[in-house]
Homo-oligomer: A and B are copies of this chain.
């Protein structure tokens, strides 16, 4: 009955993969990353388990970048940067989401606020360098 029993190996691999990366991958990216370890894993399995984890609250969706959904195993509220050039999604761990904001939002809107996302868009350092060079 160990956690690695065959029945859950792929499911665990998907979660572990997500927890071990900072790339905020899409379903397909996860599938790619698992190719070596599980060459026979199906994309459908990745989608199914990501949906499951999301429902369980083990991961969160960051929304879509260019029409593709991106996931994050870090469910604590934190700040993201999306590069419009290479579609990379970066954490900005130095920045914090002022906790007051959620309370303010709830107060001034009368809505029940569950979560909050702060997202910057622009061009990442790698792409800036690339364009300078070019």
Q: Which residues of A contact B (CB under 8 A)?
A: 63-64, 67, 79, 81, 83-84, 90, 92, 94-95, 101-102, 104-106, 108-125, 128
- Number of copies of this chain that the complex holds: 2
State the CA gap A113–B84 with chains docked (Å): 10
Please pick, from B90, B101, B112, B115, the residue contacting A111 in the complex, using a CB distance under 8 A. B90
State the CA gap A106–B84 with chains docked (Å): 15
Does A119 contact B116, Cβ atoms closer than 8 Å?
yes
State the CA gap A94–B102 with chains docked (Å): 13
Please pick, from B116, B120, B124, B125, the residue contacting A121 in the complex, using a CB distance under 8 A. B116
A125 to chain B, nearest CB (A): 5
